[in-house]
């Protein structure tokens, strides 16, 4: 197979990268890990004239904690780097587990967090858990930077809010009072499978009451979506098996799946029901985020 | 290790393969897989699907397994690679290679280079893996001949030799 | 007499390491795509985007002008000879002439200095198509309103088979219970890890082709025919092959087009399929729609079976006629009954062509039969293993379709499987959601008749001992595609001669240097090529013993050879090293060689299609699997599989069990994960290894592979097949285990989580 020809540039700074993206406009794509981009190019689905490589931008690699901000994950961190990161394992282990559930070892050594988010595939595994943890996206462009809720980052399949010349630089998980979170993915084999449906949940529980909760669905809507009605069932209530069951049913009804070669609408709704229940149960019982 | 903005159709890439440093001139759309097979004649790295689904093209990039079909040669600049040809040292087989032979883990052999490299990388970072960890390490290496049974046995046997 | 007897042998019966293992684990093994020939060009094929279309015009002028392009060809530049592999059904051409019959059909081709140029040139070829309505549903392919795909196959019927043995209607009338059930099999495909590849070189009127092939002979035969060359002017060489499973049994566009381009340019041309092209070429599993009616007595004895099939053959016939016959021929093999009716339509559709895949036409009927037998057992209140024992074939019997079974230890397989799986303590006693089920199978050990009509022996072998007598080289046409034939045939040669495995060298699968062999298919080589090898080795042994008798002043009858020592039986101190005698032989008489060949006996009945299913010997197997079903998602986890095989004497235990494990794995993939799917325009939706899901190392169960003692008189040292037998029982075993776990019956392959969930859902609905 052939990758269509392109001009390759590897800028030395984020600002330089943004300037190039402005200059080349729609004929340029950002090259992070390449595990998604190169496949699309080989399949003839994309033919960018320019690839702007982030290869030299070491500042985007780091995973660190910043007091007052939270945990910061650089967009160039690979999925295995996320999975193995001590800080994340300690503070947000579910994020590590979500990264672990992706693809296979080889892809996880190439694919990046930023790439996974910017590709905006509806079945992506990182967005649901990150959104459940109230993550923010720090976007850098030529004219400055902005930080938005990750929940607002996605516009549709393959579409994000990134404007011309903007790069997703970092994901921030803010300090929070969450007591537990969990991501469950259902795939059709145990490695190398996209999610047929995925559910992430985070809860803040005290005295058997659910003070706060987030339920985020993946692969069952054009973008990752909050199941707000399901959340409302639980929020502020004493936790019970019946409430969790109801949350599952409502999340299923809220979801907007389509039928494709991996699953039908009906089956996906069923998965949302089951996975929501199981995700909430794990988030409540596990006691770690 | 790049220079300032590189434009144009040909690039100089410096990389280490199996311990030897090379400087080559490549087109931007050349994959590491093609570079290894065509330029260096390291044909032990195989083409199975070219889309990152099968693992037959697995090489170690700075000791980590990657699908070389999805790494651009220009992105390989400054990195160190091990292919299957670099696993034996001085004509002596690695213990893992010996166990692949002893355990009859090789049938058609097309997946074997990728499997061995994934196994080797696992044992380098985790000398005493559980069976589950072995299966995860080769989760991205498809095999059509063996059902993975003896491949898992071989990797575990090589691990045992480490103790 | 399998593992017990082999203790008497010196070389066979031992798990020696594979003769090519070192090459494979070091990366030294060269497969066709790894080879480089001086002056080589890269060939690429332009493929149709339409499932069914007339070619109105092709303009190659722009492609021809691209720098680096050495040739562009269309149908007018190549022989228009129709080819195929089923006799009387040559319906394919090198490049499509009037019509394309599937998405991916071959339209034009380019040879260029590198792959990138070749691909760019393809994009410069302009093809004008008239798109035609396509036949995409095999169940409707024969309807009056459907487009006709091939002019010569009316109503898109590729073959129509009606076989009638005994009197099924009477059998049903006499039955205590008669059941009819419908099953739908899936279109699966081989997915060899190595895609098809060929390098063709045309020099001085001679064509040399390196090819990833399962049969250099069939390739040589067909390529010579198509290009009008004598066979001696076509040399087919097999480098290492990365899996075949039936998909590389006939020349593909890789061979034909590279040969045509080599002839046009005068330079060697390499064509390597990308993964999508492997899906387009296909030649994989027919999806079979099966309506099965079986009648049994009160005791569960099968009286009669009626199978009605429609099977999806895809675009070209390929080996599909045999597939259609096998679908019926194997059904009466493992259980004894006297009345059988088989009605089968193989139809054409505008989808990739289907042909032989491991088990060749027999796995899906096996799935149907094993599932139905369990349903019958349930109605009668019988244990599934008990009902199988009532019907199990016995040794030295003839099936109703004239298949002669010599050794058969099927009963022992059933009993051993029951024992090692813990069946008695588990059946009906596992916690809810867990289940155990059995599936059985049996398969041929080589086909009784070759694919085309010929009197050639099926296998031949030459052994040449070195002049020093220190090593021996085995020359065979037999093809190692990963199953290990090079290794076990070397073991057999060493055993027959009386030397060690380490003393053997092997040259295989080159039509110019190795003797004829039909190749790796139908699990034939251990028995058939093995016979030839044994004969060749024994001829060497005889010559050594004759000369040693002279040298040792003993009589021929008193001499033996073992592990490189020629000795007098009973007086081992009267001995000579093998190499001494061999060296002396060369000095006195010239080259020390042995020859062997094998032709199976005339087998089979006189009815139409009787040849298919005939074989010198048959393997048998019982496979039990244990599953856990997550009823909320339908996900089935197969935790354990126990396979017990009757495969005769074992030449190499490790390689044998490795084959069982691999065959079972492929059965598992087809049972639960794999299906090629298309959109409403006949375009494949999952022609890649991300969405066509072959199980990964994390998906496979714990496998226990065991054998029963068995000796096959028709096989050298008592051997039988094993490479395909373990694929057959798996689908039925899983379906039966799932039923045991959750009380729902699935009739539709693959057994995906969604299907399981739906079946559970249906069961829960108030009726």
Query: In this predicted structure, what is the pLDDT of residue B1?
Result: 36
Question: Cα–Cα distance between C199 and C428 in angstroms, integer?
Answer: 57
Residues A166, A114, single domain; the answer is: yes
Question: Which H helix or E strand runs over C379?
Answer: helix C363-380
Say whether both A123 and A213 belong to one domain. no
The mean pLDDT of B55-63, rounded to a whole number, is 98
Q: Dihedrals φ, ψ of A34, to 5°?
A: 95, -5
At C663, is the pLDDT very low, low, confident or very high (cuts 50, 70, 90)?
A: very high
Task: Please calculate the CA angle A110-A218-B55 and round it to the nearest 5 degrees.
Answer: 30
CB contact under 8 A, B101 and C696: no
> Which distant-in-sequence residues (6+ apart) come within 8 Å of A232 by Cβ?
none
Q: What is the DSSP secondary-structure string of C108-153?
A: EEEEESSHHHHHHHHHT-EEEEEE------TTTTTSTTSPPSSTTS
Calculated CA dihedral for residues C626, C632, C635, C639, nearest 10 degrees: -30
ipTM comes to 0.96
Same domain, A207 and A157: no
Q: Please check whether residue B138 touches C, CB under 8 A.
A: yes
State residue C716's pLDDT score: 97
Confidence grade of residue C630 (pLDDT, cut at 50, 70, 90): very high
Residues A250 and A157 in one domain: no
C-beta atoms of C633 and A270 within 8 A = yes
Taking the Cβ of residue B71 and every Cβ of chain A, the question of whether any pair is shorter than 8 Å is answered with yes
Cβ contacts of A259-262, under 8 Å, gap ≥ 24: A261/C677, A261/C685, A261/C686, A261/C691, A262/A188, A262/A194, A262/A196, A262/C691
**Average of per-residue pLDDT across C174-193:** 98
pLDDT attached to residue C723:
84
A261 vs C119, C635, C685: nearest CB: C685
Tell me whether B44 touches chain C (CB under 8 Å): yes
C487: enclosing H helix or E strand: helix C485-497
Predicted local confidence at residue C1, as pLDDT: 36
Residue B17 confidence (pLDDT): 98
Q: Which of C446, C438, C449, C497 is nearest to C473 (CA)?
A: C497
3-state SS, residue C339: strand
What are φ and ψ of residue C575, in 5° steps?
Answer: -145, 165
A→C contacts (Cβ < 8 Å), by residue, are 1-2, 104, 186, 188-194, 261-264, 267, 270-271, 274
Residue C670 is given by DSSP the state: I
**Percentage of chain C lying above the pLDDT 70 cut:** 99
Give tens-digit pLDDT for C356-382.
999 999 999 999 999 999 999 999 999
DSSP lists the bridge partners of residue C646 as C620
Q: Which chains share 3+ C-beta pairs under 8 angstroms with C?
A: A, B
Compute the distance between CA of residue A253 and CA of residue C99 in angstroms, rounded to an integer: 49
Reported as a pLDDT band with limits 50, 70 and 90, residue C7 is low
A1 occurs within a structural domain = no
A34/B72 Cβ within 8 A:
yes
Q: Give the structural domain span for A66.
A: 60-173
User: Looking at residue A136, which CATH number applies to its domain?
Assistant: 3.30.465.10
Distance CA C127, CA C107 (A): 9
- Chain A nearest CA to C634, separation (Å): 10
Widest pairwise Cα distance in chain B? 52
Element (H, E) at C258: helix C253-265
Do A159 and A197 belong to one domain? no
pLDDT at B57: 98
Task: Indicate yes or no: CB of A106 within 8 angstroms of CB of B27.
Answer: no
User: How confident is residue C315, by pLDDT bands cut at 50, 70 and 90?
Assistant: very high
Contact between chains at C15 and B50 (C-beta distance less than 8 A): no
Q: pLDDT truncated to tens, each residue of chain A (289 aa)?
A: 999 999 999 999 999 999 999 999 999 999 999 999 999 999 999 999 999 999 999 999 999 999 999 999 999 999 999 999 999 999 999 999 999 999 999 999 999 999 999 999 999 999 999 999 999 999 999 999 999 999 999 999 999 999 999 999 999 999 999 999 999 999 999 999 999 999 999 999 999 999 999 999 999 999 999 999 999 999 999 999 999 999 999 999 999 999 999 999 999 999 999 999 999 999 999 878 8
Angle at CA of residue A279, ends A275 and A282, nearest 5°: 140
Q: Is some CB atom of chain C closer than 8 A to the CB atom of B95? A: no
| C199 Cβ neighbours under 8 A, 6+ residues apart | C32, C35, C37, C40, C209, C210, C211, C258, C268, C269, C270, C271
Question: How high is the mean pLDDT of chain B?
Answer: 94
Instruction: Give the residue extent of every domain in chain B.
Output: 5-50+72-86, 95-161
C12, C6 Cβ separation under 8 angstroms: yes
Residues of C in contact with A1 (CB under 8 A): 274
Tell me which residue of C456, C455, C459 sits closest to C446, measured CA to CA.
C459
pLDDT on residue A173: 98
Q: Do C753 and A2 touch (CB under 8 A)?
A: no
Q: Assess whether pLDDT exceeds 90 at residue B129.
A: yes
- Residue C717 has what DSSP assignment? G
Q: Does pTM top 0.95 for this prediction? A: yes
Euclidean distance between CA atoms C200 and C73, whole angstroms: 16
Tokens 């809220």 belong to residue: A254
A213 shares its domain with A270: yes
Which chains neighbour B (Cβ–Cβ under 8 Å, 3 or more pairs)? A, C
Give the model confidence (pLDDT) of C669-688 as tens digits.
999 999 999 999 999 999 99
- In this structure, the answer to whether residues A195 and A150 fall within a common structural domain is no
Q: Which fold has domain B5-50+72-86?
A: Ubiquitin-like (UB roll) (3.10.20)
Task: Give the best residue of A39, A40, A189 to mutate against chain C (max C CB count within 10 A).
Answer: A189
In a domain, A85, yes or no: yes
Q: Testing the interface with C: which of B90, B102, B110, B137 to mutate, by most C Cβ within 10 A?
A: B110
CA separation for the pair C685, B135 (Å, rounded): 28
pLDDT of residue B4: 42
> Which chain C positions have a beta carbon within 8 Å of B84's beta carbon?
25-27
State whether C194 and B84 contact (CB < 8 Å). Answer: no
Asked if residue A2 is part of any domain, the answer here is: no
Domain CATH number, residue A48: 3.30.43.10
Q: What does the pLDDT read at residue C763? A: 81
- Residue-wise pLDDT for C716-760, tens only, equals 999 999 888 889 999 999 999 999 999 999 999 999 999 999 999
Q: Is residue A19 part of a domain?
A: yes
Question: Which two tokens mark C405?
Answer: 């079974």
CB A14, CB A57: distance < 8 Å: yes
CB A56 within 8 A of CB B75: no
The answer, for B59 touching chain A at a CB cutoff of 8 Å, is: no
> Pairing mode, if any, of strands C302-312 and C339-347?
parallel
With CA atoms as reference, the chain C residue closest to B44 would be C27
Is the Cβ–Cβ distance between C60 and C74 less than 8 Å? yes
Structural domain count, chain A: 3
Q: Are C537 and C463 in contact (CB under 8 A)?
A: yes
Please indicate, yes or no, if residue A74 is contained in any of the structural domains: yes
Q: Among the residues of C397-464, which ranges form H helices? A: 410-421, 423-426
Q: Say which of A8, A31, A109 has its CB closest to residue B6.
A: A8
Sheet strands (E) in C379-433? 397-398, 404-405
For domain B95-161, give the fold: DNA polymerase; domain 1 (1.10.150)
Chains interfacing with A (3 or more CB pairs < 8 Å): B, C
- How far is it, in rounded angstroms, from Cα B132 to Cα C551? 62
Q: Quick one: pLDDT band at residue B5, thresholds 50, 70, 90?
A: very low
Question: Minimal Cα–Cα distance from A101 to chain B, Å?
Answer: 10
Among candidate residues A128, A154, A173, the one where a domain is terminated: A173
> Which ranges constitute the DSSP H helices of B14-146?
32-34, 95-102, 112-125, 131-137
d(CA A248, CA A278): 9
Q: What is the pLDDT of residues C265-301, one digit of tens each?
A: 999 999 999 999 999 999 999 999 999 999 999 999 9
Phi/psi at B10 (nearest 5 deg)? -120, 145
Tell me if C673 sits within 8 A of C684, measured CB to CB.
no
Single out the residue of C402, C457, C406, C441 nearest to residue C613, CA to CA.
Answer: C402
Confidence grade of residue B9 (pLDDT, cut at 50, 70, 90): confident
For A103, nearest residue in chain B (alpha carbons) = B140
- Residues A148, A234, single domain; the answer is no
pLDDT (tens digit per residue) in C321-346: 999 999 999 999 999 999 999 999 99
Region C585-611: what's the mean pLDDT?
Answer: 96
Phi, psi values for residue C507, rounded to 5°: -125, 120
Beta-carbon contacts below 8 Å between B and C? 167
Per the prediction, chain C carries an average pLDDT of: 96
Q: What is the pLDDT of residues C488-529, one digit of tens each?
A: 999 999 999 999 999 999 999 999 999 999 999 999 999 999
Task: Assess contact for C20 and C486: CB atoms under 8 A.
Answer: yes
Rounded CA gap, C85 and C106, in Å? 18
A168 & A187 share domain: no
Q: Is C366 left (phi over 0), alpha (psi -120 to 50) or beta?
A: alpha
> What pLDDT is stored for residue C766 in this prediction?
65
User: Residue C196 and residue C256: Cα distance in Å, rounded?
Assistant: 12
Average pLDDT in the B136-154 region? 98
Same-domain status, A249 and A148: no
| pLDDT reading at C478 higher than 70 | yes
- Look at residue C4 in the predicted model and tell me its pLDDT: 41
**Residues from A in contact with B at Cβ < 8 Å:** 1-12, 16, 20, 31, 34-35, 38-39, 42-43, 51, 53, 55-56, 80, 103-107, 109-110, 190-192
- Domain C-terminal end among A154, A173, A192: A173
Residue of chain A minimizing CA distance to B31 = A3
Would you state the pLDDT for residue A286? 85
Given this model, what pLDDT does residue B7 score? Answer: 42
In the prediction, which pLDDT does C23 show?
Answer: 98
Q: Is B43 on the interface with C (CB under 8 A)?
A: yes
CB contact under 8 A, A104 and B55: yes
**A70: β partners:** A66
Give the pair of three-digit tokens for residue C14. 């031992």
CATH number of the domain that residue A230 is part of: 3.30.390.50
């Amino acid at each position: 197979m052939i990758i269509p020809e392109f001009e390759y540039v590897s800028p030395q700074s984020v600002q330089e990268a943004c300037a190039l993206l402005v200059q080349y406009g729609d004929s340029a794509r950002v090259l992070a890990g390449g595990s998604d981009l190169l496949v699309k190019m080989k399949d003839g689905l994309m033919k960018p004239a320019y690839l702007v490589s982030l290869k030299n931008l070491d500042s985007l690699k780091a995973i660190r904690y910043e007091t007052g901000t939270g945990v910061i994950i650089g967009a160039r961190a690979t999925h295995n780097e996320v999975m193995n990161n001590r800080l994340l394992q300690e503070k947000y282990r579910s994020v590590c587990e979500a990264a672990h559930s992706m693809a296979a070892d080889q892809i996880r050594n190439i694919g990046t967090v930023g790439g996974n988010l910017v590709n905006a595939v509806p079945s992506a595994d990182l967005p649901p858990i990150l959104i459940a943890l109230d993550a923010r996206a720090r976007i850098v462009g030529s004219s400055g930077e902005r930080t938005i809720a990750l929940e607002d980052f996605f516009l549709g399949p393959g579409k994000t809010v990134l404007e011309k010349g903007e790069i997703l630089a970092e994901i921030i998980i803010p300090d929070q009072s969450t007591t537990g979170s969990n991501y469950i993915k259902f795939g059709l084999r145990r490695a190398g499978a996209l999610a047929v449906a995925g559910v992430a949940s985070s809860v803040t529980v005290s005295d058997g009451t659910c003070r706060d909760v987030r339920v985020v669905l993946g692969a069952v809507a054009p973008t990752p979506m909050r199941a707000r009605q399901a959340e409302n069932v639980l929020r502020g209530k004493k936790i019970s098996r019946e409430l969790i069951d109801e949350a599952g049913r409502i999340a299923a009804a809220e979801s907007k799946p389509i039928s494709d070669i991996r699953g039908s609408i009906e089956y996906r709704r069923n998965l949302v029901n089951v996975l929501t229940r199981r995700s909430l149960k794990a988030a409540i019982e596990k006691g770690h985020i | 290790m790049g220079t300032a903005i590189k434009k144009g159709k040909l690039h100089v890439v410096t990389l280490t393969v199996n311990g030897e440093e090379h400087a080559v001139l490549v087109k931007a759309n050349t994959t590491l897989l093609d570079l290894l097979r065509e330029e260096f004649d390291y044909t032990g790295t195989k083409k199975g699907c070219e889309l990152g689904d099968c693992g037959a093209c697995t090489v170690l990039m700075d000791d980590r397994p990657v699908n070389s079909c999805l790494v651009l040669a220009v992105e390989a600049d400054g990195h160190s690679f091990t292919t299957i040809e670099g696993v034996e040292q001085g004509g002596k087989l690695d213990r893992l290679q010996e166990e692949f032979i002893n355990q009859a883990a090789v049938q058609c052999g097309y997946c074997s280079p990728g499997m061995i490299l994934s196994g080797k990388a696992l044992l380098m970072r985790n000398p005493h893996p559980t069976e589950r960890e072995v299966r995860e390490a080769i989760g991205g290496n498809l095999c059509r001949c063996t059902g993975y049974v003896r491949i898992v046995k071989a990797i575990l046997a090589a691990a045992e030799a480490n103790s | 007499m399998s593992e017990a007897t082999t203790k008497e042998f010196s070389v066979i019966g031992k798990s020696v390491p594979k003769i090519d293992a070192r090459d494979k684990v070091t990366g030294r093994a060269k497969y066709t795509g790894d080879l480089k020939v001086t002056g080589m060009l890269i060939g690429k094929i332009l493929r149709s985007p339409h499932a069914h279309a007339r070619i109105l015009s092709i303009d190659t002028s722009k492609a021809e002008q691209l720098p680096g392009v050495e040739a562009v060809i269309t149908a007018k530049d190549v022989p228009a000879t129709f080819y195929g592999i089923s006799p009387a059904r040559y319906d394919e051409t090198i490049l499509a002439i009037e019509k394309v019959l599937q998405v991916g059909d071959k339209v034009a081709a380019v040879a260029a200095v590198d792959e990138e140029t070749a691909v760019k040139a393809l994009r410069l070829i302009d093809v004008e198509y008239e798109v035609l309505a396509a036949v995409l549903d095999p169940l409707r392919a024969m309807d009056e309103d459907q487009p006709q795909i091939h002019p010569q196959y009316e109503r898109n019927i590729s073959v129509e088979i009606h076989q009638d043995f005994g009197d099924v209607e009477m059998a049903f009338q006499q039955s205590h219970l008669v059941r009819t059930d419908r099953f739908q099999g899936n279109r699966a495909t081989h997915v060899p890890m190595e895609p098809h590849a060929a390098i063709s070189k045309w020099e001085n009127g001679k064509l040399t082709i390196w090819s990833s092939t399962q049969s250099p002979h069939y390739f040589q035969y067909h390529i010579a025919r198509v290009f009008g060359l004598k066979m001696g002017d076509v040399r087919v060489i097999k480098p290492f092959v990365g899996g075949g499973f039936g998909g590389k049994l006939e020349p593909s566009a890789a061979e034909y087009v590279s040969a045509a381009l080599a002839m046009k340019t005068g330079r060697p041309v390499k064509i390597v399929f990308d993964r999508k092209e492997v899906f387009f070429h296909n030649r994989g599993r027919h999806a079979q729609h099966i309506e099965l009616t079986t009648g049994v007595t009160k005791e569960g004895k099968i009286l009669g079976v009626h199978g009605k099939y429609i099977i999806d053959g895809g675009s070209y016939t390929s080996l599909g006629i045999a597939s259609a016959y096998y679908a019926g021929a194997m059904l009466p093999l493992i259980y004894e009954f006297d009345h059988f009716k088989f009605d089968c339509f193989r139809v054409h559709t505008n989808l990739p062509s289907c042909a032989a895949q491991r088990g060749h036409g027999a796995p899906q009927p096996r799935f149907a039969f094993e599932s139905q037998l369990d349903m019958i057992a349930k109605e009668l209140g019988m244990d599934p293993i008990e009902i199988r024992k009532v019907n199990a074939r016995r040794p030295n019997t003839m099936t109703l379709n004239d298949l002669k079974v010599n050794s058969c230890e099927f009963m022992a397989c059933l009993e051993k499987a029951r024992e090692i799986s813990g069946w008695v303590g588990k059946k009906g006693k596992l916690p809810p959601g867990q289940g155990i089920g059995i599936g059985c199978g049996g398969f041929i050990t080589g086909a009784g008749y070759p694919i085309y009509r010929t009197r050639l022996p099926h296998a031949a072998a030459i052994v040449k001992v070195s002049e020093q007598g220190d090593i021996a080289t085995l020359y065979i046409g037999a093809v190692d595609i990963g199953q290990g034939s090079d290794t076990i045939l070397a073991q057999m040669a060493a055993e027959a001669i009386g030397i060690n495995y380490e003393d053997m060298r092997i040259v295989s699968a080159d039509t110019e240097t190795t003797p004829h062999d039909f190749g790796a298919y139908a699990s034939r080589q251990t028995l058939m090529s093995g016979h030839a090898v044994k004969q060749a080795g024994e001829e060497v042994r005889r010559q050594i013993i004759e000369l040693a008798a002279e040298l040792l002043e003993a009589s021929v009858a008193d001499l033996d050879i073992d592990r490189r020592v020629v000795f007098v039986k009973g007086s081992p101190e009267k001995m000579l090293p093998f190499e001494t005698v061999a060296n002396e032989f060369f000095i006195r008489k010239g080259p020390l060689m042995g020859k062997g060949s094998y032709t199976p006996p005339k087998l089979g009945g006189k009815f139409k299609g009787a040849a298919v299913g005939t074989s010198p010997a048959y393997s048998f197997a019982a496979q039990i699997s244990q599953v856990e079903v997550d009823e909320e998602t339908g996900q089935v986890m197969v935790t354990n599989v126990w396979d017990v095989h009757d495969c005769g004497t074992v030449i190499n235990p490790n390689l044998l069990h490795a084959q069982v494990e691999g065959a079972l794995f492929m059965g598992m993939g087809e049972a639960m994960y794999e299906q090629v799917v298309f959109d409403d325009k006949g375009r494949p939706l999952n022609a890649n290894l991300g969405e066509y899901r072959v199980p990964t190392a994390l998906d496979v169960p714990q496998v226990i592979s065991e054998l029963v003692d068995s000796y096959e008189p028709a096989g050298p040292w008592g051997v039988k097949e094993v490479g395909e037998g373990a694929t057959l029982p798996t689908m039925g075993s899983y379906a039966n285990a799932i039923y045991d776990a959750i009380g729902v019956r699935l009739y539709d392959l693959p057994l995906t989580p969604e299907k399981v969930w739906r079946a559970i859902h249906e069961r829960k609905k108030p009726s």
